[in-house]
Amino acid sequence: MALSVMKQLLAIPEVDPNAQDSGGRTALSHAAEMHEVDAVRVLLEDKRVDVNLADKDGWTPMTWIAKKVKSYPWNYD
């Protein structure tokens, strides 16, 4: 998803950034899994995003990030 579209959607009060798919995954957990650092940053800037919302397997977005930290060289520039 283009970051500009994500930002536009998050600017709409009725949009729930914690909406879950059939597996209980949120946009943040998908972005973390896919190593979409910029998308993760945009989502974390939204105060409504629940970083502790677990999916059906009990994984939170932060679990996905922790898993990926071991797999990818994250760049925090």
**Residue ranges covered by each domain of the chain:** 23-77
User: What pLDDT does 43 receive?
Assistant: 96
Q: Are 22 and 55 in contact (CB under 8 A)?
A: no
User: What pLDDT does 73 receive?
Assistant: 58
DSSP E strands, 1-77: none
Give the predicted TM-score (pTM) of the model.
0.82
Q: For 15-42, what is each residue's pLDDT tens digit?
A: 999 999 999 999 999 999 998 989 999 9
How far is residue 28's CA from residue 13's CA, in Å, rounded to a whole number? 17
Sign of the Cα pseudo-torsion (53, 26, 24, 67, in order): negative
Structure tokens at 47: 């105060």
Fold of the domain built from segment(s) 23-77: 1.25.40
Whole-number average pLDDT of the chain: 89
User: What pLDDT does 70 receive?
Assistant: 63
